[in-house]
A = this chain, B = another copy of it.
């Protein structure tokens, strides 16, 4: 279980020759042992070629085999115990409670996809039964199922070293879809990545799967591994969670390939919270506390952090602002994920400070001692200023939020219309707010993938109904989610089998429904008999 600094290329471990790099403990600024070897173009080619070679035999595994494989990975992650938890804490600056809960989520995701595999619904088995006597033309026997796209490149996210990295949601969804995965470790948590990659490699060996089902690459200083990975002809899709800049870069790279491929980039946003008048009046204290808790949890480093809160001017709004100020001031500075992220946060709030239309309401505590700490901050502006200030539409990743004061309902609706695509939008409302909520809802449905009432957007539930997606620029493809069971759809495409002899038909499409899965026959769902 010791960390070696090597990449995992299929069944082998290989110290990359593309230059050495270290994980850094953000709390201390110290480089952590061991050195990691950055990969080369040859490493990318080796991993991707193994993935391509593994695809057909991996997708020939049964649903149950793949479910057991995912569960074995989940067990392996748990079995790493404190070795893993402590490495994550050291590499990310995240606290034990958060890391343990993220591990729980990671394990839960793997198990969710195992359940999804056993249910078989994701295969979309669909039949048009033959009509040999139909006039003027007979209808053939058509049977359709979804199959995996092929090898998927997964980019680890900085802010979820477990749940959105090496064995995270993207990997779990891709492996469930029978797509081999070539993961690229996030440079902030190289040791964590190696520990988890070892778990997957051992699960592959113990399940007797082809080695190319999984590889882990480490980038060099010039990001040439990432570039070569997206460009490699074997790769059929890319999954990414991170900044808009990098997300758009990957989209652009993928679209310039000889054979373009989809990039599912989750690029976050400002997750507006609309505090409607009756709620503002009834609960300004509770809402202010919830807002500040949600904006500062995990040092504000969550894709769903509420970046703006919008209400209508008046006595209640003043109370709300005062309550938010009080709630913010007792928060503490916390170590951020990396010095790059801390620097970007500092620049982001400096940008707000220098904007004469934005007021600084509060900063938490004193200047932090660690150079990598993020100091919670609260700002406010008017709707009139927000509507003419494009930079305020951009996310500031870290423990801060911006209160927006509207002069009336019309201006509040104007804010909703003005927003870019978002992962989430939230309504804080009372029954008396229903009219305004009804006006806002159709707007917000077009702006966000998830709409909450009287909650806060952080804390993304991993289930069947979760949508962690939304219109551009929240993501590069609003038609999918990157969290929850539906995330598997990103890596599937339908194939129709016409007039196939029974010996050649895939299991999911055979007469008698041997997999006992729900199937659509001539437009109607048929459930397997119990």
Interface residues in chain A, defined as those with a beta carbon under 8 Å from any beta carbon in chain B = 55-56, 59-60, 101, 115-116, 119, 121, 126-128, 136-137, 139-140, 142-144, 147, 149-150, 251, 255, 259-260, 262, 421, 431, 434, 437-438, 441-442, 445-446, 448-455, 459, 461, 463-467, 469, 471-473, 476-481, 485-486, 489, 492-501, 503-504, 518, 520, 522-525, 527
Contact = CB atoms under 8 A, between A and B. Distances in A.
Given A438-B504, A455-B140, A467 B494 contact: yes
A121 B466 CA distance: 18
A516 B255 CA distance: 42
11 contacts: A115-B523, A126-B486, A142-B466, A150-B446, A434-B503, A449-B493, A451-B497, A451-B498, A453-B497, A466-B496, A479-B494
A481 B503 CA distance: 26
A434 B464 CA distance: 40
A452 B494 contact: no
A89 B139 CA distance: 26
Copies in the complex: 2
Given A128-B464, A453-B498, A527-B527, 14 more contacts: A115-B523, A128-B465, A150-B446, A262-B479, A450-B495, A451-B496, A453-B499, A453-B504, A465-B496, A465-B520, A467-B495, A479-B489, A479-B492, A525-B525
- Residue from A142, A459, A498 with most neighbouring chain B CB atoms (10 Å): A498
A149 B445 CA distance: 10
B464 A520 contact: yes
Contacts of A438: 504
A119 B520 CA distance: 12
Contacts of A469: 493-494
Contacts of A446: 55, 150
A134 to B, nearest CB: 10
A499 B461 contact: no
B464 A493 contact: no
A466 B128 contact: yes
Contacts of A527: 525, 527
B459 A56 contact: no
A476 B504 CA distance: 28
Contacts of A464: 126-128, 520, 522-523
A279 to B, nearest CB: 12
Contacts of A454: 499
A465 B144 contact: yes
Contacts of A477: 262
A402 B60 CA distance: 33
Contacts of A121: 520, 525
A21 to B, nearest CB: 33
A240 to B, nearest CB: 15
Contacts of A449: 493-496
Given A115-B523, A126-B465, A144-B465, A442 B56 contact: yes
Contacts of A504: 434, 437-438, 441, 453
Contacts of A472: 259-260
A456 to B, nearest CB: 10
Nearest to A495: B445
Nearest to A520: B464
A479 B124 CA distance: 12
Contacts of A437: 504
A485 B126 CA distance: 11
Contacts of A144: 465-467, 486
A103 to B, nearest CB: 13
B523 A494 contact: no
A230 B468 CA distance: 27
B494 A139 contact: no
A481 B499 contact: no
Contacts of A142: 461, 463, 465-466
Nearest to A479: B493
